[in-house]
Amino acid sequence: MTVMLRVDASARLGGSITRQMADRFIEGWRTSEPNVQITTRDVGREPPSIVSEASIRAGFTPPEQRTPDMKATLAESMTLIDEVRRSEVLVISAPLYNYGLPASLKAWIDQVVRPGETFSFDLRRGDFPIQSTLSGKSLVVLSSRGEFGFEPGGIRDGWNHLNPHLRTVATRLLGIADEDIYEIASEYQEFDDQRHHQSREQALHDAAELGSRLAGASVTA
Ligand SMILES: Cc1cc2nc3c(=O)[nH]c(=O)nc-3n(C[C@H](O)[C@H](O)[C@H](O)COP(=O)(O)O)c2cc1C
C-alpha cells in the first residue's frame, strides 16, 4: 500500500484551482489503488511556524543535549518531518505567489529540512557538504498561476521561482531524483477567459491521468 503526503498551500479554500488539482490527482490514484494511505497537511489553512533563533539553536544542539524547552520548540518540526519520512509520494499543491512560493510552504520546507534529520553535513565531502538522508521518494507539484508564458522562451521565462525552488529543495535536500519529479500547472487564472478555461481543464485532466498512471506503476512494482 502506497503512503502519500498531500501538502496544500493555497490560502484559498473555496475556488482554489491547486486544491482541485490535488483532488483530481488523488481520485485518479484511487482508480488504480483504492487503499492508498493519505495524510493531508494543509499549510494554507494552518501555516507552520517560521524559523526562529530558538528553533535554530535547538536544531543545532545534539539531541542528547537538548533541554525540555528545546524539545518543545522542535516538536512541530518533528511532526512534519515524520509525515515526510514515512511517505513514498509527496504531492504539493501550490499557487504561484509574487513569482515564488507561498510563505506557508516555505515555512513548511524550513521546518522539514533539518540537519541530523533530513540531511547530514560533513565538510569531508568538500564543496558539497550537504547530503540528504532520505531517498526513494517521488514528488508531484500541482501549481496554478494567474499569468502565463513562464516556459522556456515564453514571455515570462525566468519569472517562475516556485517550480525551480521546489526542484532544488527536492533533489538537493530531500533525496528525490530529478526523474521522480512531476509538474503540472494551470495558467491564465487572472485573465478569466477561454485560455484560462482550457488551461485549467487540461491541468485537471492531466492531474487525474498522472495520479492513475503513477498508482498503476506503484501497484505493479
Ligand atoms: C498573493 C497572490 C500573489 C500572486 N502572485 C502571482 C504572480 O506573481 N504571478 C502569477 O502568475 N499569478 C499570481 N497570483 C495568482 C495565483 O497564482 C492564481 O490565482 C492561482 O490560481 C492561485 O491558486 P489557487 O487557485 O489554488 O488559490 C497571485 C495570487 C495571489 C493571491
Q: Across the chain, what does the average pLDDT equal?
A: 97
pLDDT band at 4 (very low <50, low <70, confident <90, very high): very high
Q: Is 97 in the pocket of ligand 1 (CB under 6 A)?
A: yes
Alpha helix (H) ranges present in 115-193?
162-173
DSSP secondary structure letter of residue 114 = -
Query: Which of 141, 136, 139 lies closest to 206, judged by CA?
Result: 141
pLDDT at 220 (0 to 100): 75
Q: What is the pLDDT of residue 219?
A: 75
Residue nearest to atom 30 of ligand 1 (CA): 97
**Angle subtended by helix axes 194-220 and 17-32, to nearest 10:** 30
102: burial class by Cβ within 10 Å (0-12, 13-18, 19+)?
Answer: buried
Please report which helix (H) or strand (E) contains residue 28, including its range: helix 17-32
- Residue 218 pLDDT > 90: no
CATH architecture of 3-220: 3-Layer(aba) Sandwich (3.40)
Per-residue pLDDT of 92-145, as tens digits, reads 999 999 999 999 999 999 999 999 999 999 999 999 999 999 999 999 999 999
Helix (H, G, I), strand (E, B) or coil at 144: strand
Q: Where exactly are the structural domains of the chain?
A: 3-220
Hey, which residues does 97 pair with through a beta bridge? 100
Ligand 1 contacts CB of residue 28 (under 6 A)? no
The Cα 221–Cα 212 span in angstroms is 14
Cα separation, 48 vs 165, in Å, equals 19
Q: From the alpha carbon of 93, which atom of ligand 1 is closest?
A: 26
